């Protein structure tokens, strides 16, 4: 019988498959979202109270209001930049990094060459 840990682990793994970020994607984010992602990349995982604590410690012109922070965290979670586990004050946010996809180019080149080598040459007659 699967327990709570197994269920949460499965949920995290499923959400990680849904997308994620690459470092180049950060440049495309609006400033408020980029600020949160830079903060999250330092820790990789933070609870909502900890995010609020760090945000409150920022210089006043860099801080987000709670509504702005909540909206930004919600937006980042919907876009799969962050994985949210739990709700409201008990939520834990985790950075969702994409795995780098392997290149299919090299396999295509080698299979093409193999096919050409297997064909009998008609030029030698």
pLDDT, position 24? 72
pLDDT in tens, 6-49: 776 676 666 555 555 666 777 888 888 888 998 898 888 999 99
**Would residue 124 count as lying in a domain?**
no
pTM of the model: 0.60
Nearest to 98, CA basis, from 24, 31, 27: 24
**Would residue 125 count as lying in a domain?**
no
**Would residue 76 count as lying in a domain?**
yes
Q: How far apart are CA 125 and CA 117, in angstroms?
A: 17
CATH number at residue 92: 1.10.10
The CA angle 94-96-102, to the nearest 5 degrees, is 155
Report the domain count for the chain.
Answer: 1
Q: Which residue has the higher pLDDT, 108 or 31?
A: 31
């Amino acid at each position: 019988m699967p327990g709570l840990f197994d269920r949460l682990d499965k949920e995290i793994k499923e959400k990680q498959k849904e997308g994620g970020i690459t470092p180049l994607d950060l440049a495309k984010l609006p400033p408020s979202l980029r600020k949160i992602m830079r903060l999250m990349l330092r820790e990789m995982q933070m609870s909502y109270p900890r995010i609020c604590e760090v945000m409150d410690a920022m210089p006043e012109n860099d801080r987000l209001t709670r509504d702005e922070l909540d909206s930004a965290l919600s937006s980042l979670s919907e876009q799969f930049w962050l994985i949210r586990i739990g709700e409201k004050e008990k939520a834990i946010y985790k950075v969702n990094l994409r795995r780098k996809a392997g290149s299919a180019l090299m396999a295509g080149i080698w299979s093409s060459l193999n096919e050409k080598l297997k064909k009998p040459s008609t030029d030698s007659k």
